[in-house]
C-alpha cells in the first residue's frame, strides 16, 4: 500500500507548479485540497503545501486558509510534518510567502524538516547554481528538487535522545533583558535536558565578510573560519555537539541583534562540511512594542530554510514587554512558560 500525503494546493496554479506536483506525488497516494471549505484539521499527517504567488505577492485562497487555521487554535495540524513548493511570477515574494506560512503553521502544531522548501522565482535564476551542480537545466532541477523533498518528508523520522543537549545563545544584559528574565523561568523546567549557554559579547564575533567559496569551504572542512575567535573555539564545537539550538532574541529595530546575526552568518563555514538536519531550532523572542513575528520569520529563513535546522511545532515563544521585568507580569505568563518548556522536552527527550 502506498503512503498517503495530504496535498494542499490553494487557488491558481502555474504550469511548472503542476509538473512539480505531479512528479513529486507520483509514488504516493494523496488527498488533494484546493479550497478553504474542504480544509479540515489534520493530525499526525504528512503534508505538501504547494503555493502559487502572483506578481503582487498574494495568494488569496492561501490567506483564507491561514485565517481558518489561526481561528481554529493551536492544534489544527497537530503532530503533522509539512513541506512547501512556492512558485512565483516575479523575482519577489516567494521567500516571504514561505516563511510567513511556516510561522502560521508552526503555531498550529505543524513541524518542518530542515530545508522544507522548493522555491522557484519567475526567472528561476534562484536555482541556477543548483542546476549547474546537478548538470541540469533549471526547470529540470526544480522538478528533481521537488521529488527529493517529498521523499525526504516521507522517510523522515524525528530524532529524540534520552539526554539531549540544548545550546542557548544570547547577547543581552541579565540586569535589563526581559528575554533573559523569561529564559530564567524556562530553564529550571527543562529537567532531563543538558543545557549549555554561550554569551556572545559585543566585539567577540566579527560578521562574515563573504570569503570566496573555495576559501570558506577550505576552512569549513577543518571546522574553522577565516576569522577564528570564539566562533571556532566555543560556538562551532557547541553547535556540532548539541541536539537543539535556542536563540534568545530581543527585538532590535524589528531584527535579531547584530551579534546573533553575525553568529548565524558565520555558521556558513561550518555548514560547508556539516548540515544540521538532525538539530532542532527554538527561540524566545520579546518585543518592546510589536514585530516578534518578523524575528521569528528571520530565524525561519536563516536557520530552517537555509541552514537545515529542524523546526518543531511552536518553536518560538513570542511576548511583548517593554520596561525591565514587565514580561513576568503578563497575564497567564506562567502557563505559557510551562507550555514552552514542556514542548522542548516533548520534542527532544526519548
pTM summary value: 0.93
pLDDT of residue 218: 46
How far, in Å, CA of 246 to CA of 200, rounded?
Answer: 13
Q: Where are the alpha helices (DSSP H) in 198-299?
A: 213-221, 230, 236-241, 258-271, 292-299
Q: Helix, strand, coil shares of the chain as percentages rounded to 5?
A: 45, 20, 35
N-term to C-term CA, the chain: 29
| CB distance 265 to 308 below 8 Å | no
For the stretch 101-136, pLDDT in tens is 999 999 999 999 999 999 999 999 999 999 999 999
Give the pLDDT band (50/70/90) at residue 171: very high
What domains are defined for the chain? Answer: 4-155 (3.40.50.360), 165-348 (3.40.50.360)
Average pLDDT, the chain: 92
pLDDT of residue 74: 83
> Within 10 A of 148 (CB to CB), how many other CB atoms are there?
12
Q: Could you tell me how many helices (H) and strands (E) the chain has, helices first? A: 12, 10
Amino acid at each position: 500500500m502506498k503512503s498517503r500525503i495530504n496535498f494542499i494546493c490553494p487557488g491558481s496554479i502555474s504550469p511548472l507548479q503542476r509538473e512539480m506536483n505531479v512528479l513529486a506525488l507520483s509514488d504516493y497516494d494523496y488527498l488533494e485540497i484546493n479550497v478553504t471549505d474542504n480544509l479540515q484539521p489534520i493530525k499526525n499527517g504528512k503534508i505538501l503545501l504547494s503555493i502559487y504567488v502572483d506578481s503582487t505577492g498574494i495568494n488569496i485562497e492561501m490567506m483564507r486558509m491561514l485565517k481558518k487555521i489561526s481561528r481554529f487554535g493551536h492544534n489544527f495540524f497537530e503532530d503533522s510534518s509539512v513541506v512547501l513548493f512556492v512558485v512565483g511570477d516575479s523575482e519577489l515574494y516567494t521567500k516571504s510567502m514561505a516563511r510567513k506560512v511556516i510561522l502560521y503553521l508552526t503555531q498550529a502544531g505543524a513541524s518542518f524538516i530542515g530545508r522544507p522548501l522548493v522555491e522557484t522565482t519567475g526567472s528561476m535564476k534562484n536555482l541556477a547554481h543548483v542546476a549547474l551542480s546537478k548538470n541540469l537545466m533549471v526547470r529540470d532541477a526544480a522538478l528533481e528538487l521537488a521529488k527529493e523533498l517529498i521523499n525526504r518528508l516521507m522517510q523522515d523520522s524525528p530524532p529524540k535522545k534520552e539526554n539531549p543537549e540544548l545550546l542557548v545563545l544570547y547577547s543581552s544584559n541579565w540586569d535589563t533583558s526581559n528575554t533573559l528574565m523569561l529564559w530564567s523561568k524556562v530553564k529550571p523546567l527543562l529537567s532531563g535536558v543538558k543545557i549549555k549557554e554561550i554569551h556572545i559579547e559585543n566585539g567577540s564575533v566579527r560578521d562574515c565578510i563573504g570569503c570566496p567559496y573555495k576559501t570558506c569551504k577550505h576552512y569549513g572542512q577543518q571546522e574553522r573560519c577565516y576569522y577564528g575567535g570564539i566562533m571556532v573555539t566555543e560556538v562551532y564545537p557547541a553547535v556540532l555537539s548539541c541536539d537543539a539550538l535556542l536563540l534568545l532574541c530581543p527585538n532590535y529595530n524589528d531584527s535579531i541583534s547584530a551579534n546573533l546575526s553575525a553568529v548565524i552568518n558565520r555558521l556558513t563555514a561550518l555548514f560547508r562540511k556539516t548540515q544540521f538536519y538532525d538539530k532542532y531550532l527554538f527561540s524566545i523572542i520579546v518585543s518592546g512594542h510589536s514585530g516578534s513575528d518578523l524575528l521569528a520569520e528571520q530565524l525561519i529563513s536563516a536557520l530552517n530554510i537555509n541552514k537545515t535546522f529542524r523546526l518543531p511545532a511552536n518553536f518560538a515563544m513570542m511576548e511583548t514587554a517593554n520596561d525591565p521585568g514587565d514580561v513576568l507580569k503578563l497575564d497567564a505568563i506562567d502557563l505559557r512558560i510551562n507550555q514552552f518548556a514542556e514542548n522542548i522536552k516533548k520534542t527532544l527527550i526519548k
